[in-house]
Chain A
Amino acid sequence: DTEVTQTPKHLVMGMTNKKSLKCEQHMGHRAMYWYKQKAKKPPELMFVYSYEKLSINESVPSRFSPECPNSSLLNLHLHALQPEDSALYLCASSQEGLTYNEQFFGPGTRLTVL
């Protein structure tokens, strides 16, 4: 399996809802990432997990809460989001212990906050 998968593909939520995004990979990668991407813009890094530990938090608001239950799974818990949080949320993974690691992206979850 050489893919990163994400569920759901689309998500519409109200500002008071709680929802979660899920990401999965079975390539044995030990680094996993969450990105946010607005239309026609490059991906913006949000979080990085290395060996299931949070390694980087790019000053993301606390209404976004990441979780890495095991080496294959990455979740992003959402609560009290704002309409400006509407975007494509991409998960990615890469190998650890090697230089110049290619990041493999999932197809993304398109999130709309009403």
Chain B
Amino acid sequence: GENVEQHPSTLSVQEGDSAVIKCTYSDSASNYFPWYKQELGKRPQLIIDIRSNVGEKKDQRIAVTLNKTAKHFSLHITETQPEDSAVYFCAATSTPNDYKLSFGAGTTVTVRA
């Protein structure tokens, strides 16, 4: 099955700086890579996703890059704000309509004011 590794496990950044979280996956057939943000006591929420036919996607301060050859993808948050503090999970799924998301272990991001 798919194995997703996520680094770092914790990340502390100064407000206004950038944050980068990296994930690697094992299944070369994986073709959908969502990122979920989970604030303390809240539900996971999709913040951005990327398909395998796209190398980069951006949504305001958030961007995701995908390198299929190296089997890794990354989340970039620019101009971090205190409300960006949360646990971030990357995930991968290997086929269209595949119900099984393989999650990374999560990164706890703390933005220092």
Contact = CB atoms under 8 A, between A and B. Distances in A.
Interface of A: 31, 33, 40-43, 45, 48, 50, 55-56, 90, 94, 96-108
Nearest to A94: B99
A102 B46 contact: yes
A70 B45 CA distance: 25
Contacts of A48: 99-100
B103 A100 contact: no
Given A40-B108, A41-B105, A56-B99, A100 B51 contact: yes
Given A90-B43, A102-B46, A42 B97 contact: no
B89 interface: yes
A33 B43 contact: no
Interface of B: 31-32, 34, 42-46, 49, 51, 87, 89, 91, 93, 96-97, 99-101, 103-106, 108
Given A100-B51, A105-B43, A105-B44, A41 B106 contact: yes
* A-B pairs, 6 with minimum CB distance: A42-B103, A99-B96, A100-B32, A105-B43, A48-B99, A107-B43
Given A42-B105, A55-B99, A94-B99, 16 more contacts: A31-B99, A40-B87, A40-B108, A42-B91, A42-B103, A43-B44, A43-B103, A50-B99, A56-B100, A90-B44, A97-B97, A100-B32, A102-B46, A103-B34, A103-B101, A105-B45
Given A45-B100, A48-B99, A56-B100, A102 B44 contact: no
Given A40-B87, A43-B44, A105-B45, A99 B99 contact: no
23 contacts: A31-B99, A33-B99, A41-B105, A42-B91, A42-B105, A42-B106, A43-B44, A43-B103, A48-B100, A55-B99, A99-B32, A99-B96, A99-B97, A100-B31, A100-B49, A100-B51, A101-B97, A102-B34, A102-B46, A103-B101, A105-B44, A107-B43, A108-B43
